[in-house]
Amino acid sequence: MKPLRLQDQCQFRAAKFLPQLVYGSSNARAFLLCLEAGQSLPPRHDSEEMLCYLVSGTARLTIGQETFRVSAGDFAAAGRGDIRGIEATERCVVLWLHIGKGGEDGG
């Protein structure tokens, strides 16, 4: 895969954001989340590990039972089965990665 500039891939939508798949393989997927203030990826369980890097802006990140205020440059991770979600507190760009094969048994 050729390098790409994430800021050039940003597509903000006022009504509802759509995660953009910027990379995908059998073991990993990378999504670019371009969120306006108030837009969110609601907290939910997932069978894959998650890595989150906030490229710009600020947000509230939920991991497990905790919610954290994150800003540009912050990095976080969640394990398999952990609840995770994010809500923009101002316009933000997030690199959201899923690692590992999912499935009903978590493997």
Q: Looking at residue 7, what is its pLDDT?
A: 81
Report the pLDDT value the prediction gives residue 2, as an integer from 0 to 100. 86
* Residue 95 exposed, middle or buried by CB count within 10 Å (0-12, 13-18, 19+): middle
Domain ranges of the chain: 20-99
pLDDT of residue 1: 83
Q: Which fold has domain 20-99?
A: Jelly Rolls (2.60.120)
Query: Mean pLDDT of successive 10-residue segments in the chain (107 residues)?
Result: 86 88 94 96 93 97 97 97 96 95 46
Q: What is the pLDDT of residues 61-81, one digit of tens each?
A: 999 999 999 999 999 999 999
* pTM, to two decimals: 0.87
Dist. CA 16–CA 36, nearest whole Å:
9
